[in-house]
Amino acid sequence: MRTTVRRPLMAALALMGIGAMVAVAQTPPPSAADGMGDMGMRGGAFAQMHRADPATMQARFDKLMDRFKTLLQLTPEQEGPWAAFRTAMTPPATRPDVPKPEEFEKLTTPERLDRLHRLRVQRAERMDQREAAAKTFYAALTPSQRKVFDLETLKVLNPQHRMQWLRRMLGMGSSGV
């Protein structure tokens, strides 16, 4: 009985999903004539409205790192590795030079690919620096501090805890946890 109900239900859900995709695909993008201007997801007013204030983000980062430092209970000898770790983890003041859609339209496909490749290389270099700093700092920790470090960094990577960590980092509190 269960499979006789489940199959038609799954088929109906699949057809609804396909219908929604077709409807979205056929909907024309808003144009300047619609009065929307450049409010699409790519940029314009939407991107400016939702761009985080660098000072606010820095304050949140500082608060998060101070909490992390308190949890680790660092000794004076560990202050040097901590400073190097914190510096490496600090987000850059400016965002990477991501080309705007208007700039991308002027480039040829090989030029676009080269531009995207440079962005990937920059991102990988930044991640390599962070990785090296984390490993160096981790080596300076005691076994009990390493356990705390492991638990706190796992929260960033674990999907079950990621939203709780993100809410706490953004100062939104936790919902019921």
- Looking at residue 171, its pLDDT comes to 67
Gap between the Cα atoms of 2 and 167, Å rounded:
39
pLDDT digits (tens, 9 = 90+) for 80-93: 999 999 999 988 87
Flag whether 28 is in a domain: no
- Helix, strand, coil content of the chain in percent (nearest 5): 75, 0, 25
**DSSP three-state, residue 52:** coil
- Give the residue from 94, 92, 99 showing the smallest Cα distance to 130: 92
Total domains present in the chain: 1
Q: Which pair of structure tokens corresponds to residue 89?
A: 């983890």
If one compares 25 and 78, the residue with the highest pLDDT of the two is 78
Flag whether 45 is in a domain: no
Gap between the Cα atoms of 81 and 87, Å rounded:
10
If one compares 13 and 70, the residue with the highest pLDDT of the two is 70
Residue 68 near residue 55, CB atoms below 8 Å: no
- Looking at residue 86, its pLDDT comes to 94
Flag whether 29 is in a domain: no
Share of the chain above pLDDT 90, in %: 33
Flag whether 38 is in a domain: no
Q: Which domain holds residue 123?
A: 52-140
pLDDT-derived band at 78, boundaries 50, 70, 90? very high
pLDDT-derived band at 162, boundaries 50, 70, 90? low
**Nearest 10 degrees: CA dihedral of 68, 69, 70, 76?**
170
Q: What angle do CA 88, 119, 55 make, to 5 degrees?
A: 45
Query: In this structure, what are the phi and psi dihedrals at residue 66, rounded to the nearest 5 degrees?
Result: -65, -40
Residue 82 near residue 137, CB atoms below 8 Å: yes
